Amino acid sequence: MLPLRRTSLLIHRLPLARFSSNARENVTQSATQHDSDTHFGFQTVKESDKWKKVHKVFEEVAASYDLMNDAMSMGIHRVWKDIFMERLSPVGNGIRLLDMAGGTGDIAFRYMKYLQKQTTPDRKPSHVTVCDINQNMLDVGQQRWEKLNLPTAGDTIEWVCADAEKLPFEDSSFSVYTIAFGIRNCTHIDKVLSEAHRVLKPGGRFMCLEFSHVNNEYLKWVYDQYSFQVIPPMGQILANQWQPYQYLVESIRKFPQQNEFKAMIQNAGFKCVEYENLTFGVVAIHSGFKL
């Protein structure tokens, strides 16, 4: 465990290694038992291989992840995440938020800043768990958090390396589950949604921010040209990485359409499911409740 800073920050170092090992073992064992074909971008691969390939992608891009997000989206990803937090509008005391695939901390940090603006008397402290299957991404997030040095007024944050398809948390543990730009990289989206439903308390909210599909044909052509002709070369120039960013743009095209993903969330047991397109459907926010 790291020494406590002036803030009330809690970062659990020891559990990270344990969860990291278990996460990889769980993925390998599950995939080996039912080794069907799946997609890795436009490639067809075995399920047992996909998580390794995705893991390698994010190991390679972790150090330059935030820089590339700014470059690829021309900074618009920050606006999308701000809107995401506005739609979440976290209220109440003692909220427990699980930010899945949240490695570098963008959503968690926005939430912690939101909490510090709350002036409700006798507000109970909230807790954020940043969870990611990739330790490299979590390491970047922890370093960013230490540099941020944000006063937390008793609110706490922890970092856990674990698999979204088999979370190491008890049933009904969290008030809110968020996942931003991560679920499309998971091998079994249905299992991720099922786990999200399991760990949420009754009345808890699921929110997902993810790249989606542009319906306007002209805008779709422009978007495709930018995605395939600009983003991979940009990755090569700025981060000396072409293939990871080729995968990222391909993975977006393989992700379900907005209505199809909405149906998957409903099938996982969530109610009042709806979605909102941002920037003509380049990204979408999906929301549902465990009732």
| Distance from C-alpha of 27 to C-alpha of 121, rounded to nearest angstrom | 45
Alpha helices in 170-216 (DSSP H): 189-199
Alpha helices in the chain (DSSP H): 14-33, 47-61, 65-73, 76-88, 106-116, 135-148, 189-199, 217-229, 231-239, 243-254, 258-267
The reply, when asked if residue 122 is annotated as ligand binding, is no
Query: To which residue do tokens 């495709």 refer?
Result: 224
CA distances (Å), origin 259, targets 81, 83, 134, 213, 273: 21, 20, 29, 10, 10
The reply, when asked if residue 132 is annotated as ligand binding, is yes
The reply, when asked if residue 32 is annotated as ligand binding, is no
Amino acid in position 214: V
The reply, when asked if residue 164 is annotated as ligand binding, is yes
CA distances (Å), origin 20, targets 27, 53, 280: 11, 16, 37
Residue numbers belonging to the annotated binding site: 104, 132, 163-164
Q: Which residues are annotated as a binding site for S-adenosyl-L-methionine?
A: 104, 132, 163-164
